Structure 1
Amino acid sequence: MNKLKNLDFNMLVLYVLLTFFVIPRDLQQEFSVVFIIGFFLINIIYVSINDIEIKIKKIDILLYSLSGVICIVILIISPYTTVFTISTFVFLIIAHMSISKKHYISKQYLNRIIYIMCLVSIIIQLILGRYNTINGKISLSIIGDKNFSGVVIILFFMYCSKNKFFLGEILSIFFILILDSRASLLTVVLFLVVKLFKNTIYVLLQRFRLNKIYKLFILMFIITVSISYIWVYKVAIDGVKEYQQGLNDTSNKMRFVANIYAIDLLKNNKEKLIFYGYDNDFKDIFGIYDYEIDLHRRFMGVRLVQPHNSILNINIRSGIIFSLLYFYILSRIIDKLYTKDNLEYILPYLFSTLFLHELLNRKFLVFWLILLCLPSNKVFFTKKYKIKM
C-alpha cells in the first residue's frame, strides 16, 4: 500500500512539473484528461499485478460515496455543464490517494534538477510572457495572468524555502516584484511574519481551537462575507481610486462586489443551488465574457467579475451540498499535514484563497499539497531518510 501511495505521489509530482513548467497553455486541458486516465489506469494495473489489499476508513467510504451520489445527481438534473464539478471531485480523489505525511523526493540530485528546471522555466516564461499575457504587463506564459503567475512563484518560493535554496527564494521575490502583483507580495510578507512568530501563532491557534482545517475554512468564509460587505458599503463609499493607486481601488471593489453578487445568488436561488451550481456556465449567469470586457454586466457601479474567493467560487459553480462535502473531505486531507512545521506554508496560502479563485481545487491545490508533504527546514534526502534536527 505504501509503495502504491509513493507511486501516486510521484505521478502527481510529475503532473505538477509538466502542468506549470512545461506544457503550453493551449494543451493544458488535454494534458489533464490524459493524466487523469493514466493515473487511474496505472493504479488499476499496479493493484492487479501486485494483488494489493486497499484499506479505506469507513468514514472516507461514506464521504466519498455521498459525494459521488451528489455528482451523479448533478449530472442528471443540472441544466448546466458539469465539467468543473466532476474534475474538481476527481482531483480530490487523486489527492486522497497520493497525499500522506511521509513523502520524500529520495535522491538529492533529483531535487536539485527539479529546482533548476523550475527556475529556468520561470525565467523563460517571464520572457515569453511579455508578449502573450492576458492580465497584466507580464506573466508566466503558461499561466497568462499576473496574479495566478504570482501564486505559482509563491509555491516555488515555498519549495525553495523547504529545501534551503536561498538563491531561489531571493529570485522568487524579485520575480513577484516584476509581476507587480500586490496579493502575491503580501502573501510573501505574511509567510515571513508567520515564520518569525510561528511559536506564538501556533499557541494562539490551539488556544482558540483552530486545530482543524475545516474550522479555518468556516472562519475564512465568515471573513470573506464580512469584509465584502464592509468594504463595499463602508470603505468604497468614500470614493474609489484608479487601479493600483491604493487599497481602495476599482480592482478591489470589483472583487468584493462580485462576492456580494454571488452571495445574493446563493440566497435567492438556494432551492436550485443547494443541489447544483452554474459550473462553467457561470459567466453567462454573471454576464461576463472573455472576448469583450466592455460588455460585462455592471453591478453596484463597477464591472462584474467572477467571485475571486476560492470557497465562494466553488459554491456558486458546484452547489452548496457538494461544496460542503468537498471542503470537509479536503480539510481531512490537509489535517494530516497541519503541523507546526507547516504553519508558514498553510496560513499564507489560505490567505491567498480569500482573494483568488481556484486555489483550493485541481492543479493549484495538488501543487500546494505536494509542498506540504515535504519535510520543512530539515536536512533530508538521504538513503535511509534520516532526518537531522
Structure 2
Amino acid sequence: MSDPIAPNHTPSAPTRIEVNAERTYDVVVGRHLLGELPGLLGSKVAKVLIIHPESLEATAQGVREDLVEQGYEALLAVIPDAETAKSAQVLEFCWQILGQADFTRSDAIVSIGGGTATDLAGFVAATWLRGISVIHIPTTLLAMVDAAVGGKTGINTAEGKNLVGAFHPPAGVLCDLAALETLPKWDLIAGLAEIIKIGFIADPVILDLVSANAHGFANWPNVSDRLWDVVRDLVERSVAVKARVVSEDLRESSLREILNYGHTFGHALEQVERYAWRHGAAVSVGMVYAAELARLAGRLSDEDVAKHREILTAVGLPITYRGDKWKQLLAAMQRDKKSRGSMLRFVVLDSIGSPGRLEGPDPTLLAAAYAEIARDESAVALG
C-alpha cells in the first residue's frame, strides 16, 4: 500500500490561511507538509495520540515513527472507517488510551483521516481534561474544506448526526494535497459537494471553476497537472471562506449558519439511510431541496435553481431522492440543530452568493419542495 501523504508532484510553497477563532491557527495547504507537524506541536508536548481509521494504518505508522525520531512519545488509536467511528463507544475507547498513558493538558492529539476522524478526534481533545491540543491532517477533500476547519467536533447518536459535540478549534490543520492522489473517485466527487456549497453561498468563482473542469473530475484520478492547480485553488478558496466565517462566528450564533446550506435536509437523508450515503451526496440533494424551497417561497429564481441542478449533475452528484420517505425525513429535520423549539429553520439563497434564512415555512411548502426532488425508485448511495 502506498503512502497517500508522500507527494508525487513537484512541491511548491505552501499557502497559509489564518483562522482567528478563540485562538489563532493556520490551515496550511500544499504538498509534503509533514515537516510542519513538530512545529505545530511545540516543545512542551511530550505525548501524542494519533487517531486514525484502519485503512490509513501505514500513513499513521509513518507519522508515529517520525514523531518518535523527533523525541515525542507517540501512540496510535485505530478507529472504524466512516460514520461508525463517531460513537460513544469509540469515544470511550480513546479516553481509555489517554487515561492509561497518563496524558496531561500539555499533551496533544493528531487526527489522520476524513471528516469522521477529525470530528471524533476533535471531540476527544475537547473533552479530555476539559481540553487539550489537537492537530488535524485531513486526507479527503471533504475533510480539507469542511470538517477539519472551524473547530466543530461531534459524535452521532441514534437520534441524529452530530447532536453531541463541542466547539474546539485545532492548533493547526495540514491539508496535504498529495493525500488526494489515492482518493477514490466517488470520495472526491462527494467532497466537491461542500466546495460547490461554498460557491453558492459566498464565492461564485468556485462554481465557474467546477463547471469548467467537470470533465476532468469525471476522469479522476487520471488528471492533468492543470487540474491539480484547479483543485488547489478550490481548496484554498473554500478554506478562505470558511476561515472568514468561523473567525467572525465560531459558535454558530448567526453568520456561521450559512455553512449549513443543504445540510438540514442532507443530515436527515443520512439518518434515514442509516449513514449509507456519503455526506457530500446527501448535501447535494439537500442543496437542491433548499433551492426548490426558496423558489417556492418566492426568494430564488428559476435560473438559479436550474444552476444547482446543472452543476451538481455535471460532476456526478445526485439531485433527487426517493419519494416515499417524507414522514421520516420531516421527523429527522425537526431534530436539526438549527431548529428552535418546533420551528424548522433553513439556510436558503435569495440569489447566488446571497444566503439568508427561512424560518417556520408552511408544511405544504415543505412537502411541495420535496415533490420537486422526489423520484419513485429506491435510493442508491453515491458510489
TM over 0.5: no
Higher relative contact order (CA 8 A, sep 6+): 1
Task: Normalising by structure 1, report the TM-score.
Answer: 0.28
Higher helix share: 1
Task: Normalising by structure 2, report the TM-score.
Answer: 0.29
Higher strand share: 2
